[in-house]
């Protein structure tokens, strides 16, 4: 049972780090540069319009991943802040559970 808890804790740590990295503006900028480079190199070397359209769709989907993650991070932070505010404003509430996700 203890090994399972250690694995779960490790997974949660990796997940939190990946979520933070994927939702950052720097990561999106790097991904945008990568996609623009990909499009620039393949646009002039390929005469197949279907491949160009597929590359455009793939690049747009790839960039959407980072935008969705950034939006989710912001929404999650706002929900946690509001929940903490509601719990702390209620006198009968047990405040020991606040911010347990950061420990």
Query: What is the predicted pLDDT for the residue at 38?
Result: 86
How many of the other CB atoms lie within 10 Å of CB of 51?
13
Q: Output the pTM of the full model.
A: 0.65
Asked if residues 46 and 52 have their Cβ atoms less than 8 Å apart, the reply is yes
Judged against a pLDDT cut of 50, whether residue 80 lies above it is answered with: yes
pLDDT at residue 29 tops 90? yes
Q: How far apart are CA 20 and CA 42, in angstroms?
A: 31
Q: Would you state the pLDDT for residue 103?
A: 46
- Whether the CB-CB separation of 98 and 88 falls below 8 Å is answered with yes
- The region of weakest confidence among 7-11, 13-17, 23-27, 96-100 is 96-100
Question: Is 31 in contact with 66 (CB distance < 8 Å)?
Answer: yes
pLDDT in the model for residue 45: 75
Q: Does the pLDDT of residue 101 top 80, yes or no?
A: no
Helices (H), 44-99: 49-89
pLDDT (average), residues 6-18: 88
């Amino acid at each position: 049972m203890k090994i399972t808890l250690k694995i779960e804790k490790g997974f949660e740590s990796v997940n939190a780090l990946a979520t933070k990295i994927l939702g950052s503006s720097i990561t999106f900028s790097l991904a945008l540069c990568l996609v623009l480079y990909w499009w620039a190199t393949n646009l002039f070397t390929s005469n197949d319009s279907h491949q160009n359209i597929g590359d455009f769709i793939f690049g747009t989907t790839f960039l959407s991943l980072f935008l969705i993650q950034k939006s989710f991070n912001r929404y999650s932070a706002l929900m946690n802040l509001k929940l903490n505010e509601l719990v702390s404003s209620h006198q009968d509430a047990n405040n020991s559970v606040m911010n347990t996700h950061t420990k």
